[in-house]
Structure 1
Amino acid sequence: MRKYAICGLSNRAMKMFIKPLLNEFAANNQIVALLDYDSYRFTACQKEYPQINNVPTYIPEQFGRMIEETKPDALIVASRDDTHVEYIVNGLAYDLDVITEKPMVTNVEDVKKVLKAEADSKGKVTVTFNYRYSPIHRKIKELLLEGKIGRITSVDLNWYIDTYHGASYFKRWNRRRKYSGGLSIHKSTHHIDLINWWLDQKPVDVFAFGALNYYGPEGELNPSKEDHRFCGTCHVKHKCDYFMRWTSRSETINVADDHYTMKEMRAGNYTNYRPDACIFDSEIDIEDTYTATVKYDKGALLSYSINFSLPYEGYRLAINGTKGRIETQEFHAPSRVPFPVPEQTIEYYPLFGSKEIIHVVQTPGGHGGGDPILLEDIFLGADPRRQYDILAGTVAGAYSIAAGEAIWRSVKEKAPINIQSMLKLENEVNI
């Protein structure tokens, strides 16, 4: 029986990890401890899952006591992004394995701490990059491994976040760089890792532009320049286009936010935490629009963009090689897309020959069907039939964060950023 301590009782922790551990994977796995700074989260979690009513609870200052008393084999870290580093490093100090939500940490300095801690530990870190696991993304990896497009020369990835999902990042703690690292880390780490994994190359140099175009006090759709508003009590919310796009005047019609499925979270019962802060507050210090060019160590070039305030959600991808090209387009959250959504396919264009359209068998579950397969790899072991590595560790986490930080640093410094110089370690831990 493998024993787990859960660090951070977020919605993600409850739905992604606690629920399956208590159900699908209960035969060989056990939750032995819960840790969070907010005692009300213990109440909410135990109310949702009565099976863990007797599991001991701890606050962050009691981390060592938790380890000594419950003797877990591994930690699951799903707390606020900036707190990941402390739990990961402390867990490794006890020679525990650590499973952490992305991003692994929020900046390169913390990356170095994790790399050093893992090098000195018997434990290993797993980063839950679930985008790798969707059927479409695994099929693209397989096509590339088969050499269908030859040597990869360039990638175009344009990611679109709609006015509902995009605005949600600016209502929460993500809007402060000190908590999230900025969205080029919190969100783009998913995308950068996906490209790194597909290419099997390391990012070397980054040059980027970015801006805060939609949110913050200068947002053009701000109905009133004043701070400290909340959507639930705002006196001008019915003049806010972002609020009114998804809500009726009586507020009887609205869109459910899958980031907050817990009733307690939706009700705002958690201590000192409201997920409905105004998207036009002046404390917002991150960007909502990026374009970046990334050079890789084996010659590939990436053109990447992401925008957090668009009419629909999804992405467009093209991968070019010496023997052809792969294209795909996805629409996320089809219930929020205001037009018919086509089936996602992969279009393969050989350099000389006929186009092929590949229809991929889809699987249920979050993140395009990726979550359940990721969980199987974590709790059952890697699928022995798979012919390639997919579960991510510290090196993947490190390069995704370094590239994300390089993006926003390039924006600020108006200069290219070299990733290897950012990751250079005094103790020469090689990655």
Structure 2
Amino acid sequence: MKKRYAICGVSGRALGMFAKPIATTYSQTCEVVGLLDRDPKRFELYQTRFPEDSSVKTYGELEFDRMVAETRPDVIIVAGRDDSHAKYIIAALERDLDVITEKPMVTTGEDCRKVLDAEQSSKGRVTVTFNYRYSPIHTKIKEMIKEGKIGRVTSVDLNWYLDTHHGSSYFKRWNRLRELSGGLSIHKSTHHFDLVNWWIDQKPVEVFAYGALNYYGPDGELNPKKEDGRHCETCSYTEDCSYYSRWNSRREQIQVPDDHLGSLSGEGNKYPYTGYRPDQCIFDSEINIEDTYAATVKYNEGALLSYSVNFSLPYEGYRLAINGTRGRLETIEYHAKGRIPFPTPIQTIDYFPLFGSKETIHVVHREGGHGGGDPLLLEDLFLGEDQRRPYKILSGALDGAFSVATGEAVWKSVKEHRPITIDEVLKQKKYLSSGEVS
């Protein structure tokens, strides 16, 4: 018998990350039985992409109970706008259903508590799709730390860079509003905080941070004109906009597709959603999130994280160093190689023992999104977690909560100019002492 999945939030990620694999690679054991969304046009797009599933039942955003009663799903996939995650995760848990949710799990510490409480009272369990964990480079780092190659972890330096194409894309979409996304310290940095939590197997306890809106919004230095309500496709100032002209030629309307939306054109319809366009002006005054952060995070076993992220740089990638009582790991990754204007080396890991010779580890790379991580994550989601690994890799609700709480602590520290504890954000110490970061 096939496992039955219902999708809440028929987003681009829902289509590409979940619906497509279910309809193709895992069609022998899995099936989509229900779709829930506020916008009927998203159902049309789904049916265009997967005509063999045109009979899948569809439901409005307030029809969760009816969907569950009529389609009898085994698992709820939550992949809509970030601020919608909590209500569907909790509703599923209240009905003892398992949940697969896009990251961030939710957008606030308050919603983290609600999800954790709901899971404690439920037979269902939450899985958060932190696909960065599955990149071969990242799993190798996990293995080296677990093997004791660098001893007890003392500090981590992580600097993340998004280029002017990917970084600006968040400011064209709903992500630019904190009430919808939680801000980029949650929406994007949740990836990064989870990676560090998982690598070092420690829990964050306190955060101090600075942040600012340096590039986007009406005061951005490269804003060609202070005027709200523009869209890239119809804007009169695109030739004076460095962000637009860098990634779009005069001959072609769109030269480089959006990282997250990809080609969602359906049947010749560039913007296939009701009342929503992903080409809003990155200089609008409604933008209320930051594009630059620098933070220090303290962990429960003494490790310190020095973290920064910047959403408008000439190239994309990260620089990582992990220090321990017996040595140090270093690696540099360049993402989106087709957009980097200079040659980039294949990523390796440099290992420096405290006393001894440096080693360079060449990791076998894999095909697939997120550094080859997506196909491995999908195997665990739809076939069951590979039990041969010497560590747990699928993320649960507590992992999702720690990453969100760290992100919320970052922007609260920025706002309030003081250290913020994770306990302040989660407001229940039992979650700091229960379980482990998986």
Aligned to 1:288, which of 291, 300, 309? 291
1:155-234 pair list within 5 angstroms: 155-234=156-235
Q: Does 1:333 align with 2:336?
A: yes
Aligned to 1:385, which of 384, 388, 393? 388
Q: Does 1:347 align with 2:350?
A: yes
Aligned mates of 2:411, 2:269 — CA distance in 1: 31
Partner of 2:378: 375
User: For each residue in 1:52-71, what CA deviation from the matched residue of structure 2 results, as whole angstroms up to 9, or x when unmatched?
Assistant: 10111001111100000011
TM-score, L = length of structure 2: 0.96
1:428/1:400 CA distance change after superposition, 3 Å: closer
User: Is the CA contact (8 Å cut-off) linking 2:45 and 2:272 kept in structure 1?
Assistant: no
Partner of 1:129: 130
Aligned mates of 1:420, 1:7 — CA distance in 2: 30
Q: Does 1:109 align with 2:110?
A: yes
Partner of 2:241: 240
User: For each residue in 1:53-103, what CA deviation from the matched residue of structure 2 results, as whole angstroms up to 9, or x when unmatched?
Assistant: 011100111110000001101100100000000100001111100000000
User: Is the CA contact (8 Å cut-off) linking 2:264 and 2:272 kept in structure 1?
Assistant: no
User: Is the CA contact (8 Å cut-off) linking 2:331 and 2:347 kept in structure 1?
Assistant: yes
Q: CA RMSD in A?
A: 1.4
* Amino acid aligned to 1:83: S
1:59/1:427 CA distance change after superposition, 3 Å: farther
Aligned mates of 1:356, 1:428 — CA distance in 2: 39
User: Is the CA contact (8 Å cut-off) linking 2:42 and 2:272 kept in structure 1?
Assistant: no
Aligned mates of 1:148, 1:352 — CA distance in 2: 12
User: Is the CA contact (8 Å cut-off) linking 1:116 and 1:429 kept in structure 2?
Assistant: no
* Amino acid aligned to 1:230: H
**Alignment: residue pair count:** 431
User: Is the CA contact (8 Å cut-off) linking 1:115 and 1:429 kept in structure 2?
Assistant: no
User: Is the CA contact (8 Å cut-off) linking 2:132 and 2:373 kept in structure 1?
Assistant: yes
Structure 1 stretches lacking a partner, 5+ long: none
Structure 2 stretches lacking a partner, 5+ long: none
Aligned mates of 1:429, 1:66 — CA distance in 2: 35
User: For each residue in 1:261-280, what CA deviation from the matched residue of structure 2 results, as whole angstroms up to 9, or x when unmatched?
Assistant: 22149711310110000000
* Amino acid aligned to 1:3: R
TM-score, L = length of structure 1: 0.98
Aligned mates of 1:222, 1:115 — CA distance in 2: 43
Aligned mates of 2:137, 2:433 — CA distance in 1: 32
Aligned mates of 1:332, 1:269 — CA distance in 2: 28
* Higher mean C-alpha deviation, range 262-271 or range 289-298: 262-271
Partner of 1:262: 264
1:141/1:283 CA distance change after superposition, 3 Å: same
SS of residue matched to 1:367:
helix
Partner of 1:151: 152
User: Is the CA contact (8 Å cut-off) linking 2:398 and 2:431 kept in structure 1?
Assistant: no
User: Is the CA contact (8 Å cut-off) linking 1:107 and 1:405 kept in structure 2?
Assistant: yes
Q: Does 1:323 align with 2:317?
A: no
Aligned mates of 1:429, 1:132 — CA distance in 2: 22
